[in-house]
């Protein structure tokens, strides 16, 4: 069918005597036939759309032996190019653009999520800073209480030692007082005994003395 199209185009050009300045364009959607041999004719195996990727096996006299899937055949070398057709490149670029657009949208969503997480982390960090400041103040307060407690404990131990010393001194004073009281009691006892002794002597001597003087 494609051969008839090419033949019709050649006949039209010959019929209307196309000048050298005229231009014709081959559509980018034309399907290229794979032939079983290097010749035009009724030897088409199958056709392939523009942009189909082929494996080239060899080239000879303007023909290229190619392989597509399990099919091996010949195609005019002029239909082949090392670069994909512009339409395929455009499709590829469009796919790349769409993929990049989706990626940008995804990254934008991730960016918003990260920004929200950053704000939450920032708020938590500020809260932690405040909490840390409070904890530091409480720590300093507790340390001060601990230092005061140690100081009070030291003073308490000192007071206990002083109290024990005072108790010892008081006990010693009480003992001394008791000793003095006992000594004073003994002294008074001796004094009383001496006074009684002298009183008795006086009681016996004076009456006799006075009696003697009478006689």
How many Cβ atoms from other residues are within 10 Å of residue 74's Cβ? Answer: 22
* pLDDT at residue 58 tops 80: yes
Q: How far is CA 208 from its chain centroid?
A: 124
Mean pLDDT of 176-205: 75
Between CA 46 and CA 70 the distance in angstroms is: 12
Q: Which domains does the chain have, with CATH numbers?
A: 2-82 (2.30.30.40)
Residue that the structure tokens 């096996």 belong to: 57
φ/ψ region of 153 (left if φ > 0, alpha if ψ in -120 to 50, else beta) reads alpha
Task: Encode pLDDT of 35-54 as tens digits.
Answer: 888 888 888 988 888 778 88
Task: Encode pLDDT of 92-135 as tens digits.
Answer: 889 899 999 999 999 999 999 999 999 999 999 998 999 888 88
pTM over 0.85: no
The dihedral through the CA atoms of 38, 42, 45, 47 has a sign that is positive
Classify residue 69 by its DSSP letter.
Answer: T
How many Cβ atoms from other residues are within 10 Å of residue 166's Cβ? Answer: 12
Between CA 6 and CA 25 the distance in angstroms is: 12
How many Cβ atoms from other residues are within 10 Å of residue 113's Cβ? Answer: 10
What does pLDDT average to over the chain? Answer: 78
Task: Encode pLDDT of 191-201 as tens digits.
Answer: 777 777 777 77
Residue that the structure tokens 């990626």 belong to: 103
Residue that the structure tokens 């769409």 belong to: 98
């Amino acid at each position: 069918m494609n051969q008839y199209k090419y033949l019709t185009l050649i006949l039209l050009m010959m019929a209307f005597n196309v000048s050298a300045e005229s231009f014709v364009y081959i559509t980018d959607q034309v399907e290229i036939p794979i032939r079983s041999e290097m010749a035009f004719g009724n030897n088409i195996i199958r056709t392939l759309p523009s942009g189909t990727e082929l494996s080239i096996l060899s080239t000879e006299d303007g023909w290229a032996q190619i392989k597509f899937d399990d099919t091996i055949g010949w195609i005019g070398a002029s239909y082949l190019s090392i670069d994909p057709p512009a339409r395929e490149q455009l499709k590829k670029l469009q796919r790349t653009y769409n993929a990049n657009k989706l990626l940008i949208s995804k990254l934008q969503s991730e960016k918003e999520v990260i920004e929200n997480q950053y704000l939450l982390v920032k708020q938590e960090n500020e809260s932690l800073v405040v909490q840390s400041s409070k904890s530091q103040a409480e720590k300093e307060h507790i340390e001060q209480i601990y230092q005061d407690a140690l100081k009070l404990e030291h003073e308490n131990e000192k007071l206990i030692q002083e109290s024990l010393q005072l108790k010892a001194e008081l006990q010693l004073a009480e003992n001394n007082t008791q000793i003095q009281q006992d000594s004073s009691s003994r002294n008074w006892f001796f004094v009383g005994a001496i006074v009684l002794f002298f009183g008795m002597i006086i009681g016996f001597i004076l009456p006799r003395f006075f009696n003697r003087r009478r006689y």
